[in-house]
Amino acid sequence: MRFFSAIFLFFTLFCQFHIGLAQNSDEQMAVQYYNNREYEKAIELFEKLYDKRPDSYFYTYLLFSYVEQKDFRSAERLVKKQQKKFPRLARYKVDMGYVYESNNQISKASKEYEDAIKSMPAERFYISDLANAFASRRQPEYAIQTYQQGRKLMRSPTEFTYEIAGTYERLGQVEPALEEYFKIIDNNLQDLISVQNRLQNLLLNDEDNSIYELIRVNTLKQTQKHPDKLSFSILLLWLSVQNLDFETALFQAKAIDRRYKENGDRVFDIAKVAAQNKQWDVAIDAYQYLLAKGKDNTLYVLSQLELLKVRFGKITSSYPVQISNLKQIDKEYFKVINEIGFNPGIADIIRNHAHINAFYLNKDQLAMQMLDSLIAYPGISAHDKALSKIDLADIKLFNDEVWDAALLYAQVDKDFPNDTLGHTAKFKSAKLSFYIGEFEWAKAQLDILRSATTRLIANDAMELYFTIDDNLDEEDEINKALQMYARADLLIFKNQDEKALQTLDSIFMVGLYDSLFDEVLYKKAEIKVKQGLYNEADSLLNRMIAFYPSELYVDDAWFLRAEIQHFYLKNKSKAMEFYQELISNFPGSLLTQEARQRYRVLRGDALN
Give me the residues of the chain with pLDDT under 70, please.
1-24, 452-453, 474-478, 511-513, 604-608
CB neighbour list of residue 7: distance below 8 Å, 6 or more residues apart: none
Residue 261 lies in a domain: no
On whether residue 498 sits in a domain, the answer given is yes
Output the pLDDT for position 12: 40
Query: Residue 504's domain is classified under what CATH number?
Result: 1.25.40.10
Q: Give me the pLDDT at residue 19, please.
A: 41
Amino acid 82 reads Q
Number of folded domains in the chain? 1
Residue pLDDT, tens place only, 188-231: 788 888 888 888 888 877 777 788 889 899 999 999 888 888 99
Q: Is residue 527 part of a domain?
A: yes
pLDDT of residue 7: 40
Inside any domain, residue 505: yes
pLDDT at 69: 85
Q: Which of 106, 76, 105 is nearest to 93 (CA)?
A: 76
Provide the residue range defining the domain that includes 570.
480-603
Query: Given this model, what pLDDT does residue 470 score?
Result: 87
3-state secondary structure 315-343: HHHCCCCCHHHHHHHHHHHHHHHHHHCCC
First to last CA, the chain: 71
What are phi and psi for residue 210, nearest 5 degrees? -70, -40
**Is residue 532, in this structure, part of any structural domain at all?**
yes
Cβ burial of 232 (10 Å; 0-12, 13-18, 19+) is buried
The pLDDT assigned to 24 comes to 63
- Closest alpha carbon to 302 in 340, 261, 355, 254: 340
526 within a domain of the structure (yes/no): yes
Q: Is residue 525 part of a domain?
A: yes
Q: What is the pLDDT of residue 478?
A: 57
d(CA 78, CA 363): 91
| Predicted pLDDT at 41 | 86
pLDDT at residue number 84: 86
Answer whether residue 542 is part of any domain.
Answer: yes
| CA 116 vs CA 89, 99, 119, 142, 557: distances in Å | 9, 15, 5, 10, 60
For residue 559, what are the contacts with CB-CB under 8 A and spacing of at least 6?
578, 579, 582, 591, 594, 595
Distance from C-alpha of 255 to C-alpha of 267, rounded to nearest angstrom: 10
d(CA 287, CA 272): 9
pLDDT at position 512, please? Answer: 55
| Residue-level pLDDT at 574 | 93
SS (H, E, C) 529-573: HHCCCHHHHHHHHHHHHHHCCCCCCHHHHHHHHHHHHHHHCCCHH
Looking at residue 475, its pLDDT comes to 57
pTM: 0.75
What would the DSSP string read from start to end of 439-459? HHHHHHHHHHHTT-SSHHHHH
